[in-house]
Amino acid sequence: TAHHSPQRNEWIRSVAQVRCAIHELCHVLGMRHCPYYQCLMNATRSDVREHDARPSELCPVCARKLQLSLGFRFMDWFVALARAWGGAGLESERAAARARAWGAAGRLASDSVPQ
């Protein structure tokens, strides 16, 4: 396992807490656990490692459910996620959200997707 600084460990715990909060909020919005893909809405046991390993994003099925529930544009959603992850110093999460924003835009328009 990788050894991280205390500050990095705190970020990792914070991200896991945000994932858990978003997962529970999706339940409040009527979403159930996802059996289809690697997804933020996957069910986990009480094992902390499972919760910490939960993906940061919804799968396409669950993202569509959330979009229908809240009425947002996917590109706007992923641009906001990229900015949030980048602001938290989580480069791999930022890059993944940025790539999804490109896909949602249907083109590689780097001027419309945050660096």
Could you give the residue numbers annotated as active site? 24
Question: What is the C-alpha to C-alpha distance for residues 35 and 38, in angstroms, rounded to an integer?
Answer: 8
C-alpha–C-alpha distance, residues 78 and 110, integer Å: 13
Token pair of 23, please? 């997962």
Other Cβ atoms within 10 Å of 16 Cβ, number: 17
What is the token pair recorded at 115? 């660096």
Query: What is residue 29's three-state secondary structure?
Result: coil
